[in-house]
Structure 1
Amino acid sequence: MRIAAISDIHGNLPALEAVLADIAKRGADVTVNLGDILSGPLQPRATAERLMALDFPTIAGNHERQVLTHAVERMGDSDRFAYDEITELQRAWLRSLPSTLRLTPDVLLVHGTPSSDLVYWMESVDDRGQRQASYEEVLERAGDAQASLILCGHTHVPRSVLLDDGRLIVNPGSVGLQAYSDVHPLPHKAENGTPHARYVIIERIGQQWQVEHIAVAYNWDEMSSLANANGRPDWAHALATGRMPRQ
């Protein structure tokens, strides 16, 4: 079985199209979408329209939940932009998405961890910022989720960890946004260092999963200009560089 996994598109349609073209070239039996699909100052309505037509196995991320359930005055700028842009049909599609999904008996899709769409799995945040989580932290957050392959998103950081019990955890990184900052649970930022769109192909070969993390070029300057025009210079810098602005 050959799986292409995409996540954290955040309304970046050109990045999505570049990734889809690359998947088509490399080949996959199925493409799965791990959530955080629309929120951001880019093209949420057009991105939803494209994905609804494709009908990939898809789960909701924390941003889908927030767009659907938070009071408008509680929304951050990225969620509010998506909330204002998408159609009622697209809201209904978001409401239909599960928070987790078992693709096969041995493949589980989650957004953050098996028990939360907000907890970082393979990264941790402390008073020094974001860091790579230890093996012990990754193992604890895995809980008793049963699958040989567990796909997650949320942190935008491509990474794979093989647990001693044989479970493989894979984060494809983000299709649409290669750097961001947040203040929860403490101030931190994620930076992938280049603006390339990220995704992963995982293939079962014998009894093992083979993992290929992929970075794809697209017209990130166009999306950087759009973010700037929509009042988000932080996103503009992140989209153009894969880094957050220096203070």
Structure 2
Amino acid sequence: MRFAAIADIHGNAAALEAVLADIAAQDLGMSDIVNLGDCLSGPLEAGRTADMLLPLGLVTVRGNHDRYLIEHAAGDMHEWEADAFRQLAPAHLDWLRSLPFDAVFRDVAYLCHARPMDDSTYWLEQVTPEGQVVLRDLSEVEAWAEGILQPLILCGHTHLPRVVRLSDGRLIVNPGSVGCPAYDDDMPVHHRVEAGNPLASYAICERTAAGWSVGFRLVPYDHMGQSRLAAANGRPTWAAGLATGRLG
């Protein structure tokens, strides 16, 4: 059994297009893809991204930024949502409203965006008071995984590809970000998350005789075109992150 996990597209239609082509080249079909949310928010091509995603019928869970697009009034949205909202049709918003918080895929994988019961807290990482993003203590990671029976647990949100093995052998997998390799945030304190490269990231999970294998794929695409689009839309931080995977 093999399937692909994508997350954190953030309206980057060019990156999504490249990732879908790469997945097809791995002999995986659309029914073999799970999407961990944060699909549309950002200053890029939210409408085109939605037009690509909706017909695919991927198993998809709702991310925090997906939720913001349907919960916040248009005049109260953060710039990431405001940029995207202007491009979205009612059908796109209805699709976001239909997405579940979490899901189970083929009885082998539990899916959520960030962590169980909370779509906006890092699961595998934590932010120090000094603003450093570091690996979270295993005991805390495991406490949030209590009650999940599937051998694979998939999450996104931090945009960083990572696998953490729990004491009982379960794996928590973050496939990285398809479309946003670097960002900064003020919560809980100001910090940066930087992949260090501009490639579109996703993961392939495969069940073998020895257990689950996880492979990360980093896919080239016209990231500079998306960087220029972000700059033209007045988002220099996005432009920097898309160009290099770093913010400075």
| Partner residue in 2 for 1:121 | 123
| Partner residue in 2 for 1:223 | 226
Task: Select between 61-70 and 22-31 the one with higher mean Cα deviation.
Answer: 22-31
| Partner residue in 2 for 1:86 | 88
Any unmatched runs of 5+ in structure 2?
Answer: none
Distance 1:126 1:71 in 2: 32
Q: Would you identify which runs of 4 or more consecutive aligned residues in structure 1 move more than 6 Å?
A: none
Shift of 1:76: 0.9
| Partner residue in 1 for 2:202 | 199
| Partner residue in 2 for 1:2 | 2
| Partner residue in 1 for 2:149 | 146
Distance 1:159 1:142 in 2: 16
Task: Give per-residue Cα distances to partners, 1:159-213, cap 9 Å, x unaligned.
Answer: 0011111211000000001000000111111001010000000001126110001
Number of aligned residues: 245
Shift of 1:110: 0.5
Distance 1:74 1:183 in 2: 18
Identity within the alignment, %: 48
Task: Give per-residue Cα distances to partners, 1:129-150, cap 9 Å, x unaligned.
Answer: 2112222232122232221101
Task: Select between 75-84 and 44-53 the one with higher mean Cα deviation.
Answer: 75-84
Counterpart among 101, 109, 115 of residue 107 in structure 1: 109
Task: Select between 79-88 and 174-183 the one with higher mean Cα deviation.
Answer: 79-88
| Partner residue in 1 for 2:186 | 183
TM-score by length of 1: 0.96
The residue identity in structure 1 corresponding to 2:163 is: S
Distance 1:207 1:28 in 2: 21
| Partner residue in 2 for 1:155 | 158
Distance 1:240 1:125 in 2: 25
Shift of 1:240: 0.2
The alignment's C-alpha RMSD in Å is 1.1
Any unmatched runs of 5+ in structure 1?
Answer: none
Distance 1:206 1:48 in 2: 38
**SS of residue matched to 2:60:** coil
Distance 1:234 1:172 in 2: 23
Confirm whether residue 39 of structure 1 aligns to residue 41 of structure 2: yes
Confirm whether residue 14 of structure 1 aligns to residue 14 of structure 2: yes
Confirm whether residue 97 of structure 1 aligns to residue 88 of structure 2: no
Task: Select between 112-121 and 131-140 the one with higher mean Cα deviation.
Answer: 131-140
